[in-house]
Amino acid sequence: MMMNCCGLLTANKEPVPLKSVEVELEVRAHVATVVSTLNYENKEDKPLEAVFVFPLPGDAAVCHFSAKIGQTEIVAEVKEKQKAREEYDDALSSGQQAFLLEESDQSPDIFSLSVGSLRPGESASIRLEYVTELAVQADEGLRFCLPAVLNPRYQPQGSGGSGGSNVQMTSVPASLVPYSLSFSARVSSPRPVSKVESNCPLDALQYLNTEQTQATVKLAAGHKFDRDVELLIYYKDAHQPTAVVEAGQASAKPGTLMGDPVVMLSLYPEFPQAVMSSVTSCGEFVFLLDRSGSMDGARIKSARDTLLLLLKSLPMGCYFNIYSFGSSYEHIFPKSVEYSQKTMEEALKKVEEMQANLGGTEILMPLKHIYSQPCIPSQPRQLFVFTDGEVGNTKEVINLVKKNSGSHRCFSFGIGEGASSALINGLAKEGGGHAQFITGTDRMQPKVMQSLRFALQPAVVDISVKWDLPKGVSVTALSPPITALFQGQRSLVYAQLTGKSLAAEGCVTVKYSLAGHPTQNQLHFSLKPAEDTGITVHRLGARSLIRSLEMEERERGGERDGEVKKKVVELSVQSGVSSAFTAFIAVNKGNGEAIQGPLVRRNVPTPRLWGGCGPPQSIKMMQGPMVFGGMQSNMRMARGACAPVAKQRMMCDSPPMFQCNSISIEHKQPPRDPLLQLVSLQKASGCWVLDPALAAALGKTSEEVEKPKPALVNQEVWATIVALIWLHGFKMDAQEEWELLAMKAVSWLRAQNGNNQNHKCLSVVFNSVCWLKSAVCSHLLCCTHLFYVFFQLHV
């Protein structure tokens, strides 16, 4: 693929019509409104059509699209997609200006924008607005992501395109994208804003009031298009249930979704700590790892290290298997096997050999094979999916997971920049699990281990939401039923309130069963609509209902004369929110004068992270540029061939670095992390063996570790205690990564109490603390952690 390294030119030395992108983010508690303005200028002597393909958050609701040319503003309408396309083509054919915004047929997080026609010397500003929910992270931060990268989407052979569009992709290194980005955010919440963090340089946080409930922040000047812009927003006492009632539109008919009030509930169920601190000793754990070419380098290495931690943390008595996929798929065992020292060692040997060498990203076939395997009685299936999300048939994959949601839970992990949020969030949502994103310099291990803790906790079942509203007020659910509840995680529920009452308060009760015990959480809320909320909650509620109906339509396959599709189109048009079956269309009829001359198509170059996407056979790619809520440039669906990955891709750590010519750089393998070295020596039962390898992992000689051991002390008991105390002394900053395997080690030690000699050994531990302080660690250990280990052994 050609690349141009100088000037505001495309790879074909054509002027780029897009000059700048301005993004304004407004965060209110748990939801965000994003306004992106794209500024264009045609410096050529011919009229232009510019086409862009770009990513948005997968659960975003596009709710406004307009164009301003000179002093004329044209606001787009939502129409059925095919009608909108025909109207756009007719407008261009008659010499009128037109603008078309539509969602990809394959994935709900990819949009295309067509701007035609720009007269010679003419400028235009495109304004796009969308609303989205903010996901809660493990550390209680709320995550907002402005997608900047749309990586190639591998489309399996024989699958459909993106609605029949054929746009040729133009790609340049991210640092050479010729348009600028400005980004600012305003945050407001009922609770104080404690901090805002980002993977990109930010200017200092500015508070707007003394209560610190309002603040602004900006992206520092000089930001490059080499990563998604991620904000983590932290509130004080964030994990409290809340409810917001939003008034309907005065212009809308009462009884309709937009005419009635809509309530948004943010629920944080409270689980007994005694129950949640325990872990189950059963389950079938299936790990599905992406080994496509785009996973090469640091990604596949991190995935291997993560699988090591996962396998060491599994409980004895469970079952497991590991699948990997690219253009084809592999599995370590023909079917899931019982977890033991033998099967763990066999799996780890295969994991160490895994490379990103399986070509494309065809995830559908391994999923079908997994679901075809019979479930093991009394071993609940837990599926962990690791992928960089470069999948073209997102909707088909999510639909398959939903069809099998009754037999398993799915935990998903998006790796690297440009991972499809629609795929990652969709897998977890429809699979009743939890989604995590690993970007920039994030470590994969702590996020994955948090999800494993969720999977090992007692499952919450029989979940129901019951409304208690005053007489005269009825409720219509806009959200699908809650399928999963996890400790510390938030569930958002939307509902339409119809009717009126003099009563000022309503109540909602979430009931569920946990570890065999019926439990409920209640939230009382005011029915009085909040002020100055606009219609954000209505739009998000409409989006939630639209997504549920779209899923129903895919399940039916268009049966019953497209009845569900008609409902989606009607709801989308009524609410002004985008859907898979509608598009935004705006036509500038102006003064009636037709634009003269042949219309020339111009493709804006896309920021590129990867030089290849797998083997050359049967590949379609969907790729785009950095833009507004992540505007990526032109590229609907194009057939093409990628050169071999090993030749094209430049291997680098995150954030990627680029050069004008594609070259391959090999990095020398760094020495293994001492933590991973120690973990790799742990047995499946949870113990360690006293041998030279353990001493080396601790940074000591065998004599230094073995000599102080009392004669009656069992070697494995001594080795396990030493390993545990080393973890508490050296690696408390990584406790999330080793906590589960340490719990397994403590359980093993407890089981040794029955042996008299081992009981004496445990008693000796306390007397050996002085040695452990000096010999195992190079600094004094925290006494709190020493006593923690000691008393855990005697419970």
SS (H, E, C) 621-675: ECCECCCCCCCCCCCCCEEECCCCHHHHCCCCCCCCCCCCCCCCCCCCCCCCCHH
Within the chain, all domains assigned CATH 3.40.50.410 are found at: 279-456
Q: Are 567 and 549 in contact (CB under 8 A)?
A: yes
**Residue 647: is it exposed, middle or buried by C-beta count within 10 angstroms (0-12/13-18/19+)?**
exposed
Q: Distance between CA 634 and CA 603 in Å, rounded?
A: 5
Helix ranges, 199-314 (H): 273-276, 298-313
Least confident window among 93-107, 142-156, 316-330, 612-626: 612-626
Among candidate residues 725, 728, 723, the one with its CA nearest the CA of residue 690? 723
> From the CA atom positions of the chain, what is the Rg in Å?
28
Residue 641's pLDDT is 30
Q: What is the DSSP string of 542-591?
A: HHHHHHHHHHHHHHHTSHHHHHHHHHHHHHHHHHT---TTEEEEEEE-TT
Task: Give the mean model confidence (pLDDT) for residues 470-490.
Answer: 87
Q: At what angle do helices 715-730 and 783-793 cross, to 10 degrees?
A: 150
Residue 376's pLDDT is 94
3-class secondary-structure state, position 382: strand
In the chain, the largest separation of any two C-alpha atoms, in whole Å, equals 99
Task: Give the mean model confidence (pLDDT) for residues 632-654.
Answer: 29
Q: Distance between CA 523 and CA 242 in Å, rounded?
A: 8
Q: Distance between CA 427 and CA 352 in Å, rounded?
A: 27
φ, ψ for residue 216, nearest 5 deg:
-130, 155
Between residues 348 and 611, which one has the greater pLDDT?
348
Q: Distance between CA 345 and CA 680 in Å, rounded?
A: 10
pLDDT in tens, 521-537: 889 999 988 777 688 99
Task: Give the mean model confidence (pLDDT) for residues 172-187.
Answer: 77
Residue 1's pLDDT is 28
3-class secondary-structure state, position 613: coil
Q: Are 360 and 615 in contact (CB under 8 A)?
A: yes
Q: Are 626 and 609 in contact (CB under 8 A)?
A: no
Q: 720: Cβ–Cβ under 8 A, 6 or more apart, which residues?
A: 686, 687, 688, 745, 748, 749
Q: Are 543 and 61 in contact (CB under 8 A)?
A: yes
3-class secondary-structure state, position 448: helix
Task: Categorize the per-residue pLDDT at 737 as very low, low, confident or very high, splitting at 50, 70 and 90.
Answer: very high
- pLDDT exceeds cutoff 70 at 322: yes
Homologous superfamily (CATH) for 279-456: von Willebrand factor, type A domain (3.40.50.410)
pLDDT in tens, 568-597: 999 999 999 999 999 999 998 765 566 665
- Provide the token pair at 765: 């531990």
Architecture of domain 18-133+150-188+200-226+582-644: Sandwich (2.60)
Residue 621's pLDDT is 30
Q: Are 327 and 615 in contact (CB under 8 A)?
A: yes
φ, ψ for residue 169, nearest 5 deg:
-85, 140
Burial 672-684 (b: 16+ CB within 10 A, else e): eeebbbbbbbbbb
Residues of the chain with pLDDT > 90, as a percent, come to 38
Q: 675: Cβ–Cβ under 8 A, 6 or more apart, which residues?
A: 727, 731, 734, 737, 738
Q: Are 283 and 380 in contact (CB under 8 A)?
A: yes
H and E: helices and strands count for the chain: 19, 36
Q: Are 413 and 386 in contact (CB under 8 A)?
A: yes
Q: Distance between CA 503 and CA 160 in Å, rounded?
A: 53
- Provide the token pair at 513: 């069963």
- Provide the token pair at 759: 């009981």
Q: Distance between CA 604 and CA 606 in Å, rounded?
A: 7
pTM, to two decimals: 0.78
- Provide the token pair at 194: 């404690």
Q: 441: Cβ–Cβ under 8 A, 6 or more apart, which residues?
A: 199, 654
The pairing of strands 284-290 and 381-387 is parallel
**Residue with tokens 């010499």, as numbered in its chain:** 95
Range of 272-286, 398-412, 609-623 with top mean pLDDT: 398-412
CB atoms within 10 A of CB 277: 11
- Provide the token pair at 256: 């309709």
Angle at 249 between CA 579 and CA 477, to 5 degrees: 55
Among candidate residues 621, 618, 597, the one with its CA nearest the CA of residue 610? 621
Angle at 617 between CA 615 and CA 623, to 5 degrees: 70
Q: 703: Cβ–Cβ under 8 A, 6 or more apart, which residues?
A: none
Q: Distance between CA 382 and CA 389 in Å, rounded?
A: 20
Residue 44's pLDDT is 84
Q: Distance between CA 112 and CA 634 in Å, rounded?
A: 8
Residue type, 27: V
Q: Are 264 and 244 in contact (CB under 8 A)?
A: yes
Least confident window among 32-41, 105-114, 430-439, 574-583: 105-114
- pLDDT exceeds cutoff 90 at 370: yes
Computed over every residue of the chain, the mean pLDDT equals 79
Task: Give the mean model confidence (pLDDT) for residues 653-663.
Answer: 29
- pLDDT exceeds cutoff 60 at 725: yes
The pairing of strands 262-267 and 435-438 is unpaired
Within the chain, all domains assigned CATH 2.60.40 are found at: 18-133+150-188+200-226+582-644
Torsion angle, alpha carbons of 560, 566, 568, 570, to 10: -160
- Centroid of chain to Cα 380: 24
Residue 165's pLDDT is 40
